[in-house]
Amino acid sequence: MLRTLLGTDLWIEQNSRQAFNLDTVLLHHFARIPAKAKVVLDIGTGAGPLMLYLSKKTKAKIIGIEIQEERYQQALKNIQLNHLEHQLSCIHMDVKGLEMKDVDAVISNPPFFKVSEQSLLNDNEDDTIARHEVKLTLEELVSIASKVLKFGGYFTMIHRPDRFSEIMDLFTQYQLVPKRIRFVHPYVDRPANHLLIEVMKNGSPGLTVEPPLILYVEKHHLTQAMVDIYGGK
């Protein structure tokens, strides 16, 4: 299926299982790329939608890491489809084996759910790997981000608020200092169901909690903030 990338003049080809979702749009909108950045890493790039979005924000080289062969191949196609080979690239590998240093920024939309005996795993292995920590745990992701980032580099991700305490503990453990946080709520009177967070490697203390982002005024009726985000503003 070929479609335009929401809010851009770019194109993306994907099958239904690889379709990017709201998480990708929210993460792209929240992410800041340093003006002088030379290398940005997208861990778990899937079919590459986040890389495509980020190409509109920065001239830095953007490298996607993807463990699943089918998604990796689709990411390569999407890079070629938009003639972005000069800026974007993708590596097919398990990120735990990555040997890279002095990266300016790391961005990730990781699996949200821990795996336990009680986990309701997807029947499709592709979906299971994307949603559950079968190939990459939260701690592994945070430790890898810390290892590859330069001093003062940024790591930005989207996750679930119910793991906020665990996330903050891991950041402390791996010398990542929270700089910005934004909670995302489906409705103004509902608890947050997403967490956007930016941290700096060995950064100085100083945290900004941004105003909450509300998705809907009522069912199927987006807030103006979300209309602007989907429109690329």
DSSP letter at 81? H
**CA of 46: how far to CAs of 82, 85, 205, in Å?**
16, 17, 33
Q: Which amino acid is at 96?
A: K
- 3 state SS of 57: coil
**CA of 178: how far to CAs of 16, 96, 150, 209, in Å?**
35, 23, 16, 10
- Phi, psi (degrees; rounded to nearest 5) at 185: -115, 140
What does the alpha-carbon distance between residue 16 and residue 2 come to, in Å, rounded to a whole number? 11
Structural domain that includes position 55: 2-230
Burial class (CB in 10 A: 0-12, 13-18, 19+), 49: buried
In the chain, the number of structural domains is: 1
pTM of the model: 0.90
**CA of 126: how far to CAs of 35, 48, 134, in Å?**
35, 15, 11
The mean pLDDT of the chain is 90
DSSP letter at 233? -
CATH number of the domain that 200 lies in? 3.40.50.150
Q: What's residue 117's pLDDT? A: 42
pLDDT reading at 120 higher than 80: no
Average pLDDT over residues 55-59: 96
- 3 state SS of 225: helix
- 3 state SS of 90: strand
pLDDT reading at 37 higher than 70: yes
Q: What's residue 15's pLDDT? A: 75
Q: What's residue 34's pLDDT? A: 94
Neighbours of 26 (CB within 10 A): 20
